[in-house]
Structure 1
Amino acid sequence: MTSPIKTATFTDMEPRAAVKKSRVFRRSRGGCRNCKLRKIKCDQAKPQCRCCLSFGVVCNYGISIPDLLPSKEAHSQWFGTTCDARPRAKAPIPPLKQRVSSQVASRNSAVSIELDAGSMRTITRFYEELKARFEFPTKDVLQFTRSYPFLMHATLALSLAYDRSLTSASKPNQGRTVREMKHFLQCTTLFQRHLCEGIHPIDRDPVWATASWLSILLFLAIDGSDPSKAWPFKGSETADLDWLRMGDTKWKLYQLTNPDRPESIFHPLSNLYSQMRTSIAASGIDTISPSLYKVCGLDGSSRHDTNPYFQAAQMVTNLKNFEPSNIPMPAAMSFITHGHPEFKVLLLKKDPVALLLLALWYSRVRKSVWWINLRAMTELEAICLYLRKYYSHDALIMEHLPSEY
C-alpha cells in the first residue's frame, strides 16, 4: 500500500524551529501533570508553568484540572477570535519549489514536523478509509500538508482518532489519546496564527480543508469513559459542546474560502455542500413521524420557524428512509448543519425534548459515520441515563428513548 504523501521528510514530534537536539532532562516530582504527560521538564512556575503557557493549556499541579485542558486564550481562537481573516490583496504566486519552502519558513514561522513510519501508516489507513467511503479530495488535501503544518497536525489528530475507532468494539468509551490532543492543540494554535495574517488566494483550499478536519475533531472532543460523568451530567459551558458552537465559525470560513469556485479541489463537492446547506423544512408536518407530534408539541399549524423542535424532528424522521449503515452524508449531518438556533439553546439548557431528539439522531446515524459513533458510545448512553434519572415521570420521553439504552 503506497502512502498518499509522496515525501516523508518529517518524525511525529512537536513543531520545532531548529534541528538541534534538546538536552535530556530528568523530570521533577514537583512538576505539573501536563509536562509529565508530554515528557518534558517542568519549570514549576506558579500558578502556570511556562511550558503550559506556551503550549496553550491550563497548568495542572492539582487534581481539579484535567490533563491538557485548553486555556481560555486557546479556546477563544475558535470561539471569539478578533483577528481579521478577510482575504487580502492578491499576492504574486511563487514557483512551486519556492512556494513550499517559503510557506513553511515565513507564513508558518519556520515550523517543521517530521513523520516516522508509524505516523505514515496511521495517515495511510485514514486515507484509505476516506477514499473508499467518502467523496472528498483526500489525496490533494494530504499533499497540502507538506506546506501547511496546521493542516498536518489536523490530519495527524484525525488519523489517530480513526485508529481509535478501529478498536472501539474491544475498547468502548475510550477517550482521546495524549498524542491526539497534542496535535489538535498545535493545529488550533498554528491555524489561528495563520488566519490572523489573512487568507491569501493560494491558501483558500488548505484553510477550508483544515476547517473541515477541525469540525470533526471538535465533535470528537469528548474525554473519559464514564457516561455518568459526561455531558449532560456535566455543565454545558464545558468544551464538550464546542462542536455545537463551531457551525457559525465554519460558515464564515466557507464564505471566505469559497470552496465552490471552479479551480478549487473541492469544486466537485459543490452539490454536496448545497444539499448540506439547504433545509428540508419547507415541507409540512406530514414529513414528521406522528409518534413525535405530542412529545414535541406539534400540531397542524406548526412550522420550522414557529417550533424549535420541528426541524430536528423532521430530520430524525427522514433518517428512517435509509439503512442504518448506509445513510448519505447530507442526511446524516443535516441535524448539525440545519439545527434551529433556538434548538441549540435548548440543548445547552438540557431541555428534555431536545436531548431526546439528539439521542434519537445518535442512535440512527452512528453506524454510518465513524466519528459520530465514537462520540455516541459515551454521550448517547449519558443522555439516556440523564433522562431516566431526572425525567422518569415523563411517560412520553421514556416511551421514545432508544431501547438499547
Structure 2
Amino acid sequence: MPSVVSRVTSPPERKRKAHAKSRKGCGNCKLRRVKCDEDKPKCKKCVLYGVSCDYDGSKPSLDLSAEGAFQVNLPRAEATLDFSVAPEKPPVSLSKVNAAVVHHSLSDTTDNRADGLIVKRFQTRTVSTIGSKEASSTYRGCISHLAFSHPFLMHMVLSLTLLHDAHLSTSPSSDLATSFQNASLTHWNTATKLFNALLSRPIPPSHRDAIWATGALLGTASMAYIESSDPAHAWPLKPPDPNDLNWLKLAEGKRAIWQIADPSRPDSMFYQLGKHMNHTQRPDWVAQPDFSSVPPRLARLFDITEHDSVESNIYYLPLLCVQRTQALTLTHELVLPFIRFLLYMTPEFRALLELKDARALLLLLWWFRRVEAGHADLWWMTRRAKIEGRAIEIWLERWYGGEEGLIEMFERVRGGAGGEVLAGQWQEDPAVVLKGCTGWAKEVQSAGVFAQ
C-alpha cells in the first residue's frame, strides 16, 4: 500500500496595500495612529472621539471636548418600539447587585477594577443624592442591575459618579477635581454615542427601563456640569457659545424619553415611582391659572393681565412655577415642585434666556436663589444655582442697576408710577432683592429693553 505523503502548502505572502501618507493630519490622529480626514477646524475623527481637534499643537493632546461629550440627539417623535423582543427580566435583589459590583471590581484589568469601585461609590453614595428619597431608593435597587447589561447606562453611571467626586474634591479648581471631571467627560462621551445609536433604531421593550434610567442620570449630570466655578466666566457673562443653556434642552428631552420608556407601565422596574412623577401631565394650576395669585407689581413687571393664559404670555408659567416654591425649602422630599420650573419651560422662554432678556433672566435668578437655599446633598442643583445665579446678578447690576433698577426702568418705559411704588423689597420673597444693590436704572431706549 503506497504511503500517503501530506504536503502542506504555505499561504501566499500578504502584501500590504500601498497608500499615500500625509503629514498634515491633526495632532490627535497622529497620536492615535489613525488616518485623519484633515477637515478644518475639526476633523471628523476628533468630533466622534469627543476631543478638541488641534492642528498647530497649541492644545494638550486628546484634550476632552465638552461639546462632543454633551451632544445628545433627543428622542424623535417617530421613535418606535420593537415588541418582538422579550420584556425585561424582573429586578434582582440588592445583595446580588452588590455581589456583581464586587465581582466586577476584582476583574483582571485595571480599568475594570477602577470602574467597579466607581459603581460601588454610586451605590453607596451618589445615588442617595438623586431626586427624592423614594427615587434614590428605587434607583439604588435598579440602576446598577440595569447598567451591567446596558453599556450606555453603565457609562452614564460612571460619568455622574465622577462628577460627584469632582464636586467633593477640596477645591473645584484642584488637579484632582480636574482629573475627575475629565474622566467623567470621557464616560459621558461614550454614553451619548451609544445612547444616540440606540434611539436611532426601533427600540426593544427590554431597553425601556435602561432608557429611562439613562435619561434621569443625563438630566442630573447636565445640570451638575458647569465649566467654570468663577461666576465671571459663567453664563451669561462669558462669551456666547452654541452650547450655552444645553442643560435646559435636556429637561425638554426628558419628557420625550418618558413617552418612549413609560416608567409608569405595570411591568416597569420604576412602576411605583412612575405613578407619582408623570412628566407629561400638567397640574390644574397650570391648566387653569389663578390671576389673583399674581401680586400686582409682578403682573405689571411681566405684562400679565387677567385675560392672559400660559400660552399667551411667555412669562406666566415660569412665574407660577417659581411662586409655588416661595414657601418651600428644597429637600429630597420636595424636589418635584422645583424641577417643574425646568420641566414646563417652553422653547419660547428658553429663547428669551438665550437672548438675555432681562425679565427672563430675573425669573431664572429668582429660581436659582430658591434652589441655592436648599439641601446641601442636592449638589447637582445647588452648584449651578450658586455660580450662574451670581453671574446673573452681576449682569443685571451691570446693565440695569440690579433688580430694583430693572423694575424702575420698566415702569419708566411704560410711563408708570415709577420708583416710589416699587422701591421697596418684593414682599412675596424678600430674598429676591440684591443685597447691597444701590445702582439705579440706566437710561436706555425702549427698543433695547427686552434684550442686551
Counterpart position of 1:206: 210
Per-residue CA deviations over 1:379-404 (Å, capped at 9, x if unaligned) read 11111111111222873537754438
Shift of 1:70: 5.0
In structure 1, how many angstroms separate the alpha carbons of the residues matched to 2:78 and 2:320? 37
- Shift in CA distance, 312/278, structure 1 to aligned 2, threshold 3 Å: same
Counterpart position of 1:186: 190
Counterpart position of 1:403: 435
In structure 2, how many angstroms separate the alpha carbons of the residues matched to 1:130 and 1:242? 20
TM-score normalised by L of structure 2: 0.67
Q: Does 1:126 align with 2:126?
A: yes
Aligned Cα RMSD in Å?
Answer: 3.7
User: Secondary structure at the residue paired with 1:355?
Assistant: helix
In structure 2, how many angstroms separate the alpha carbons of the residues matched to 1:220 and 1:338? 19
Q: Does 1:374 align with 2:383?
A: yes
Q: Which has the larger radius of gyration?
A: 2
Match of 1:155 among 148, 152, 157: 157
> Given that residues 330 and 338 in structure 2 are in contact (C-alpha distance below 8 angstroms), is that contact kept between their aligned partners in structure 1?
no
- Shift in CA distance, 312/248, structure 1 to aligned 2, threshold 3 Å: closer
Shift of 1:333: 0.3
Greater relative contact order (CA < 8 Å, ≥ 6 in sequence):
1
User: Secondary structure at the residue paired with 1:272?
Assistant: coil
- Shift in CA distance, 78/241, structure 1 to aligned 2, threshold 3 Å: same
Per-residue CA deviations over 1:55-99 (Å, capped at 9, x if unaligned) read 133413565899422567x766425x7896311242246999xxx
1:90 counterpart letter in structure 2: S
Identity %: 26
Structure 1 unmatched runs, 5+:
1-29, 97-112
Q: Does 1:308 align with 2:327?
A: no
Q: Does 1:231 align with 2:227?
A: no
In structure 2, how many angstroms separate the alpha carbons of the residues matched to 1:236 and 1:319? 30
- Shift in CA distance, 42/316, structure 1 to aligned 2, threshold 3 Å: farther
Counterpart position of 1:27: none
In structure 2, how many angstroms separate the alpha carbons of the residues matched to 1:207 and 1:157? 16
> Given that residues 208 and 257 in structure 1 are in contact (C-alpha distance below 8 angstroms), is that contact kept between their aligned partners in structure 2?
yes
Per-residue CA deviations over 1:114-159 (Å, capped at 9, x if unaligned) read 2426424432311344498342421211111111111011111111
Counterpart position of 1:390: 399
In structure 1, how many angstroms separate the alpha carbons of the residues matched to 2:235 and 2:132? 33
In structure 2, how many angstroms separate the alpha carbons of the residues matched to 1:61 and 1:319? 50
Counterpart position of 1:353: 359
Which deviates more from structure 2 when the two are superposed, residues 291-300 or residues 263-272?
A: 291-300
Per-residue CA deviations over 1:18-37 (Å, capped at 9, x if unaligned) read xxxxxxxxxxxx985x799x
Counterpart position of 2:273: 269
In structure 2, how many angstroms separate the alpha carbons of the residues matched to 1:306 and 1:132? 33
TM-score normalised by L of structure 1: 0.74
Q: Does 1:52 align with 2:54?
A: no
> Given that residues 70 and 189 in structure 2 are in contact (C-alpha distance below 8 angstroms), is that contact kept between their aligned partners in structure 1?
no
Shift of 1:225: 2.4
In structure 1, how many angstroms separate the alpha carbons of the residues matched to 2:131 and 2:303? 43
Counterpart position of 1:253: 257
Q: Does 1:87 align with 2:86?
A: no
Q: How does 1:81-120 map to 2 (within 5 A)?
A: 85-92=79-86, 114-116=112-114, 118-120=117-119
1:285 counterpart letter in structure 2: F
Matched residue count: 354
Per-residue CA deviations over 1:297-336 (Å, capped at 9, x if unaligned) read 2333333222211111111111112135566122010100
